[in-house]
Amino acid sequence: MGSNGACATCGRKLIDKKSMERGFGPVCYEKYLKAKQQEDFERNQITVYEALGE
Ligand SMILES: [Zn+2]
- Domain interval for residue 16: 1-54
Of 48, 54, 9, 36, the C-alpha closest to 19 is 9
Quick count: other Cβ atoms within 10 Å of Cβ 12?
A: 14
Could you give the angle at the alpha carbon of 37 between the alpha carbons of 39 and 20, nearest 5°?
115
Q: What is the pLDDT of residue 54?
A: 63
State in Å: Cα 6 to ligand 1 middle: 8
Per the model's pLDDT, the better-predicted residue between 15 and 51 turns out to be: 15
What is the domain count for the chain? 1
Buried/exposed code over 30-53 (b: 16+ C-beta within 10 A; e: otherwise): eebeeeeeeeeeeeeeeeeeeeee
pLDDT of residue 2: 47
The confidence score (pLDDT) of residue 1 equals 47
Give 41 Cα–ligand 1 centroid separation in angstroms. 24
Q: Please indicate, yes or no, whether the overall pTM of this predicted structure exceeds 0.85.
A: no
Query: How far, in Å, from the CA of 45 to the mean position of ligand 1?
Result: 30
**Tens-digit pLDDT profile for residues 3-39:** 579 999 999 999 999 999 999 999 999 999 999 999 9
